[in-house]
């Protein structure tokens, strides 16, 4: 456990610069989005209500009040989310391949450490998980701060206040990052981590057998993912309706655990038997 925690600390320290840039970009860009949308809305209010003398009630009836809906659908709000998702996907590959870079590949030192080689696997997986949940936590805090900022910029008569839960449902990306129910949380993040396990195993196949391993890894990952989706595919593609929705969810949960277990066993085998120093 001590060696595992040291590896997690090492991995996280190595990505801290990238992580800080992602957090900083998200904060700055989304705060700017609040100011941009507020300025545009106030400009509309000034033009229609105060210059064109349209009654406030008529303006609000036609245009609506200012809310976080305007903000979360602004490009400046959405782009950093997409950048963060892309960066984490890229780093999920990079976190393995960086070990083999350079003349004195660091992977050789890692593989000769007096600890289980799976500690390397788990430390990398934990680092990616920390990055994901850390960014989601930052986004949640930002939504609270942005809501308060909007209150300061827009008067009560022209503003519609929304709860954080409602705000998270205004955007597809936010609804996935911050699911409405615990079941949705298990579904979205469960599928995400299953894909991450399969990706790590596919990378180990490639590292073990090079080009042939890449093909094996892709086929292996696709095959296991289709195994996981088998109940849903049987229902949607072949009209297999003998299972109730709750039974399909339970079966998917069991298959998800099975796929992760197979992926872990395969990764353990590859790290210990095929990836050599």
What pLDDT digit, counting tens, does each position of 118-160 carry? 888 899 999 999 999 999 999 999 999 999 999 999 888 888 8
DSSP classification of residue 159? B
DSSP 56-123: HHHHHHHH--B-HHHHHTSHHHHHHHHHHHHHHHHHHHHHHHGGG-SSS-HHHHHHTSSS-THHHHHH
User: What pLDDT does residue 276 have?
Assistant: 67
Q: Which two tokens stand for residue 270?
A: 């590859």
Residue 277 has pLDDT above 70, yes or no: no
- CB count within 10 Å of CB 270 equals 21
146's CB contacts (< 8 A; 6+ apart) are: 30, 31, 34, 68, 71
Once rounded to an integer, what is the mean pLDDT over residues 28-48? 91
Residue 3: per-residue pLDDT: 78
pLDDT at position 255 is 93
Q: What is the chain's mean pLDDT, rounded?
A: 88
Whether 169 and 189 have beta carbons less than 8 Å apart is answered as no
Task: In whole angstroms, give the CA distance from residue 30 to residue 45.
Answer: 23
Which residues have C-beta within 8 Å of that of residue 161, sequence separation ≥ 6? Answer: 67, 147, 151
How buried is residue 18: exposed, middle or buried, by Cβ count under 10 Å (0-12/13-18/19+)?
middle
Other Cβ atoms closer than 10 A to 15: 20
CA distance 250 to 258: 12
**Taking 80 as the threshold, does the pLDDT of residue 74 lie above it?**
yes
- Tell me which range, 45-59, 74-88, 171-185, 231-245, is most confidently predicted by mean pLDDT: 74-88
Confidence of residue 63 (pLDDT cuts 50, 70, 90): confident
This prediction's pTM: 0.88
């Amino acid at each position: 456990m001590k060696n595992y925690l040291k590896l997690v600390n090492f991995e996280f320290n190595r990505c801290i610069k990238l992580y800080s840039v992602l957090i900083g970009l998200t904060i700055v860009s989304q705060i700017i989005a609040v100011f941009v949308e507020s300025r545009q809305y106030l400009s509309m209010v000034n033009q229609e209500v105060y210059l064109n003398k349209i009654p406030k009630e008529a303006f609000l009836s036609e245009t609506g009040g200012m809310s976080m809906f305007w903000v979360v659908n602004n490009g400046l709000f959405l782009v950093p989310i997409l950048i963060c998702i892309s960066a984490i996907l890229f780093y999920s590959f990079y976190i393995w391949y960086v070990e083999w870079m350079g003349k004195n590949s660091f992977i050789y030192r890692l593989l000769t450490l007096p600890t289980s080689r799976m500690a390397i696997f788990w430390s990398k997986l934990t680092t990616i998980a920390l990055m994901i949940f850390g960014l989601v936590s930052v986004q949640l805090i930002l939504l609270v701060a942005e809501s308060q900022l909007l209150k300061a910029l827009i008067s009560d008569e022209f503003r519609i206040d929304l709860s954080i839960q409602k705000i998270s449902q205004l955007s597809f990306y936010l609804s996935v990052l911050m699911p409405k129910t615990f079941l949705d949380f298990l579904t979205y993040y469960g599928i995400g981590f299953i894909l991450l396990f399969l990706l790590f195993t596919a990378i180990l196949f490639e590292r073990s057998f090079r080009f042939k391993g890449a093909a094996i890894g892709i086929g292996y990952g696709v095959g296991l993912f289709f195994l996981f989706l088998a109940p849903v595919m049987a229902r949607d593609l072949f009209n297999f309706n003998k299972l109730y929705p709750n039974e399909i969810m339970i079966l998917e949960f069991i298959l998800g655990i099975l796929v992760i277990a197979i992926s872990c066993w395969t990764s353990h085998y590859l790290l210990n038997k095929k990836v050599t120093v």
